[in-house]
Chain A
């Protein structure tokens, strides 16, 4: 039985990505980020989200894409998963669409330079648009950070 679900659409390096709407807390404009020393490069630091300190990571850098300067369109998407609350810096976030599980296919090995394990599928919709769905628990997987920490030390 196919199920309907909503996703937030955002862009990274001209590709469109999606996160299920129920994982997203809010979407914020860029705010000043405080650097946290001794963290992996993709951890940009922490922000003040209405009195709560939330870590933000740069998704471009997390996926090994070239980093870019924030623009007017840059957004921080605050997601909550695995009991963690983390902000993703993305190039832009501007749409919410309805998807059906029937439209989702398993991701190929590499999409737009991103390893398949970070992705939960690829959805075709509209006129030949492709939407890459993120596997949040893998993106937020801390074991990788711990490995990086050990490597750095």
Chain B
């Protein structure tokens, strides 16, 4: 059977479900009482099981099956989550992830899951495991109509009190039973119309089956709701009668009396259930109500749950190469647009000008969309960190909260792909070296639980990612000590370094300050790799720290790698682009202000002496030289702390340019970092300012 075409879909979806499992397990760990989270986890596990089984990955399927069994008990309140169960389930997720990775690598996705399966089975056995449905069904048979309703529409204490209060306040409460005609094709839609009408006129307290199941057409032809109405019974009945294809709508008013009956039947139900459990009632219930009771778990979910369920975005997956060629074609179009605009202004025909103007507007909208296509929220990188921090904290015996903000911040896809590893490294570093142990924190008078903040935000043309911990901060004397010992700086230099410069020593190759080497970080390789990775993305990394209060790692990244803002300059007949990010200032310098200092040309700039470079000389300009000019335009550029003045013929102005490579044939070009295509279709080269300052 040809499975390959499905395999990539399977892998993508499996990864998504694993991610969602991980996230929701973490959420559940925070709020173990929230059954709606268990529902989500259960659904993900269930889907994963189905997918794996249909693709023939038996081990994946059997492990998810056992997980499902445990989760089923939890969501039916038969089992309370505890640390042991969490740990086992997390181990299962790891194992699942390993198997999916194996499938990605072309393997069969098999792994030894026996131990985990038996652990899960023990968890299932460890609690009374009488099936709930049997107990409920047994009671349901032969009861009066209301009692039967009660069995599958059990209200919990909260819902009862909501109903009771509203009746006491004078708003009518109803039990509504809707039957949809058998021949109705889109019963989900009809049901939705009912809910829509109800929600407009009041408040749903409880529905059976759950709203979600109903919307997905997972119900027979009947459903019932408890409802607090803002309109009188007759009006409600009329509204619902207007919806076509409904067999019957019965609206039964509730009063305090019937509510207390419900309450009693609830406790009776509980007693019966307990009795049933003790007697280990058989699971095969054949009572008439069995059909209605087959989804008791769903009905346990409060009616509010659907609102909290995340709305899945409708997306398609596109090969990034296609996006690149779309970009290329689009920049072609831009060039033609500029040419058209030029022609239209020469021809001076109104209808032509109007058409060209309209095209210009459409194409600038198109430009925005095309550029946004490549942007991905950083969430896709951040989402694996909560789990990582949890595991790290557990293995180190620390208490830690990871607070993520700005996960919706968008970055170019190419940057996203590369930024993951550096971030992992920095976070591990913060968790391992930054945050103290529980005892350490107590001694320092801090709360036992450390906090690591992971923030992403936009600022100008950059995206900042910050990792801030409230740990012990950087031990500067120790950093200096090690730097001198390892020969990174000489003892004399060390004395002159500022605090920030000392911090930056951490990024020097071959540096490690950890007293003992742990398997998490501190192998001496790392921060220098982090820095070179980030710099290769056109970014900057820095760190600030306060002893005893924590440290903050800050990464500044360009919004996109494919488009930058640049200053266009002219040298005679040639045009060049210089990235705006490294330009400090532009100005005019008088020939007389340029002085010779030991054979090098310098000028005074804001009370300091900076070197002067002739761009024409660096680029061997064939038809321009500033030698015979009295005053020359200059750009002040910066590389780190160093400044330099670059002399040019003329400043054209700043512009957004699309970065292009020069191809593989021309490499090692030193001062030229790439090319771009200007509005007139000409290629302009991009000057690398970092190469100008030596």
Q: What 1/0 mask marks residues of chain B from 653 to 694 whose CB sits below 8 Å from any chain A CB?
A: 000000011111111111110010100011111000000000
* Chain B residues within an 8 Å CB radius of A100: none
Known: A46-B662, A48-B677. A36 touches B684 (CB 8 A): no
A-B contacts, 29 of them at CB < 8 A, read A34-B682, A34-B684, A34-B685, A36-B662, A36-B666, A37-B618, A37-B620, A37-B671, A38-B669, A45-B683, A46-B662, A46-B675, A46-B683, A47-B683, A48-B335, A48-B682, A51-B331, A51-B335, A52-B328, A53-B661, A53-B663, A53-B683, A55-B666, A83-B664, A84-B664, A84-B665, A85-B663, A86-B663, A142-B667
Known: A48-B677, A51-B328, A53-B683. A37 touches B662 (CB 8 A): no
Q: Are A36 and B685 in contact (CB under 8 A)?
A: yes
**How far apart sit A142 and B331, CA to CA, in the bound complex (Å)?**
30
Q: Are A34 and B663 in contact (CB under 8 A)?
A: no
* Chain A residues within an 8 Å CB radius of B684: 34
**Within 8 Å of chain B (Cβ to Cβ): is A108?**
no
**How far apart sit A37 and B620, CA to CA, in the bound complex (Å)?**
6
**Within 8 Å of chain B (Cβ to Cβ): is A113?**
no
Q: What's the tally of chain B residues with a CB closer than 8 Å to chain A?
A: 30
**Within 8 Å of chain B (Cβ to Cβ): is A39?**
yes
Known: A37-B671, A46-B683. A53 touches B677 (CB 8 A): yes
**How far apart sit A97 and B334, CA to CA, in the bound complex (Å)?**
38
Known: A46-B683, A53-B683. A37 touches B660 (CB 8 A): no
Chain A proximity of B633: nearest CB distance (Å) = 20
Q: Are A34 and B683 in contact (CB under 8 A)?
A: yes
**Within 8 Å of chain B (Cβ to Cβ): is A43?**
yes
- For A31, the closest partner residue in chain B by CB is B681
Chain A proximity of B616: nearest CB distance (Å) = 10
* Chain A residues within an 8 Å CB radius of B664: 83-84
**Within 8 Å of chain A (Cβ to Cβ): is B146?**
no
Chain A proximity of B96: nearest CB distance (Å) = 39
- For B575, the closest partner residue in chain A by CB is A34
**How far apart sit A152 and B178, CA to CA, in the bound complex (Å)?**
88
Chain A proximity of B335: nearest CB distance (Å) = 8
* Chain B residues within an 8 Å CB radius of A22: none
Q: What's the tally of chain A residues with a CB closer than 8 Å to chain B?
A: 26
Chain A proximity of B174: nearest CB distance (Å) = 66
**Within 8 Å of chain B (Cβ to Cβ): is A35?**
yes
* Chain A residues within an 8 Å CB radius of B421: none
A-B contact count (CB 8 A): 77
**Within 8 Å of chain B (Cβ to Cβ): is A149?**
yes
Chain A proximity of B561: nearest CB distance (Å) = 16
* Chain A residues within an 8 Å CB radius of B332: 50-51
Q: Are A38 and B670 in contact (CB under 8 A)?
A: yes
Chain B proximity of A25: nearest CB distance (Å) = 13
**How far apart sit A53 and B618, CA to CA, in the bound complex (Å)?**
22
Known: A46-B662, A53-B683, A55-B666. A38 touches B677 (CB 8 A): no
- The chain A residues found within 8 Å of chain B, CB to CB, are 32, 34-39, 43, 45-48, 50-55, 83-86, 140, 142, 146, 149
- For A84, the closest partner residue in chain B by CB is B665
- For B660, the closest partner residue in chain A by CB is A53
* Chain A residues within an 8 Å CB radius of B685: 34, 36-37, 46
Chain B proximity of A113: nearest CB distance (Å) = 24
* Chain B residues within an 8 Å CB radius of A86: 663, 665
Q: Are A36 and B672 in contact (CB under 8 A)?
A: yes
* Chain A residues within an 8 Å CB radius of B662: 36, 46, 53, 55
Which of B620, B669, B681 is the one whose CB lies under 8 Å from A48? B681
Which of A43, A48, A52, A83 is the one whose CB lies under 8 Å from B666? A43
* Chain B residues within an 8 Å CB radius of A142: 665, 667
Chain B proximity of A12: nearest CB distance (Å) = 20
Chain B proximity of A38: nearest CB distance (Å) = 6
Chain A proximity of B663: nearest CB distance (Å) = 6
* Chain B residues within an 8 Å CB radius of A149: 668
Chain B proximity of A148: nearest CB distance (Å) = 11
- For A39, the closest partner residue in chain B by CB is B666
**How far apart sit A109 and B666, CA to CA, in the bound complex (Å)?**
29
**How far apart sit A59 and B375, CA to CA, in the bound complex (Å)?**
42
Q: Are B663 and A54 in contact (CB under 8 A)?
A: yes
- For A140, the closest partner residue in chain B by CB is B665
Which of B329, B574, B665 is the one whose CB lies under 8 Å from A55? B665
Q: Sorted from nearest, which 9 A-B pairs have the closest CB atoms?
A: A51-B328, A34-B683, A51-B332, A53-B660, A37-B619, A53-B675, A55-B665, A84-B665, A37-B620
**Within 8 Å of chain A (Cβ to Cβ): is B142?**
no
**How far apart sit A140 and B681, CA to CA, in the bound complex (Å)?**
26
Q: Are B661 and A39 in contact (CB under 8 A)?
A: no
* Chain A residues within an 8 Å CB radius of B682: 32, 34, 48
**How far apart sit A142 and B669, CA to CA, in the bound complex (Å)?**
13
Chain A proximity of B465: nearest CB distance (Å) = 31
**How far apart sit A37 and B673, CA to CA, in the bound complex (Å)?**
12
**How far apart sit A48 and B658, CA to CA, in the bound complex (Å)?**
13
Please indicate which of the listed interface residues A46, A51, A142 has the most CB atoms of chain B within 10 Å of its own CB: A51
**Within 8 Å of chain A (Cβ to Cβ): is B622?**
yes
- For A32, the closest partner residue in chain B by CB is B682
**How far apart sit A67 and B675, CA to CA, in the bound complex (Å)?**
26
- For B670, the closest partner residue in chain A by CB is A38
Chain B proximity of A152: nearest CB distance (Å) = 11
Please indicate which of the listed interface residues B332, B663, B671, B672 has the most CB atoms of chain A within 10 Å of its own CB: B663
Chain B proximity of A52: nearest CB distance (Å) = 6
Chain A proximity of B584: nearest CB distance (Å) = 24
Chain B proximity of A102: nearest CB distance (Å) = 34
**How far apart sit A142 and B665, CA to CA, in the bound complex (Å)?**
7
- For A40, the closest partner residue in chain B by CB is B666
Q: What 1/0 mask marks residues of chain B from 11 to 27 whose CB sits below 8 Å from any chain A CB?
A: 00000000000000000
**How far apart sit A54 and B665, CA to CA, in the bound complex (Å)?**
9
- For B331, the closest partner residue in chain A by CB is A51
**How far apart sit A48 and B329, CA to CA, in the bound complex (Å)?**
12
- For B622, the closest partner residue in chain A by CB is A35
* Chain B residues within an 8 Å CB radius of A84: 663-665
**How far apart sit A54 and B681, CA to CA, in the bound complex (Å)?**
13
- For A83, the closest partner residue in chain B by CB is B664
Which of A37, A51, A85 is the one whose CB lies under 8 Å from B677? A51
Please indicate which of the listed interface residues B335, B665, B683, B685 has the most CB atoms of chain A within 10 Å of its own CB: B665
Chain B proximity of A82: nearest CB distance (Å) = 9
Having A53-B661, A55-B666, one finds 5 other A-B pairs with CB under 8 Å, namely A39-B669, A51-B332, A53-B683, A84-B664, A146-B668
- For B682, the closest partner residue in chain A by CB is A32
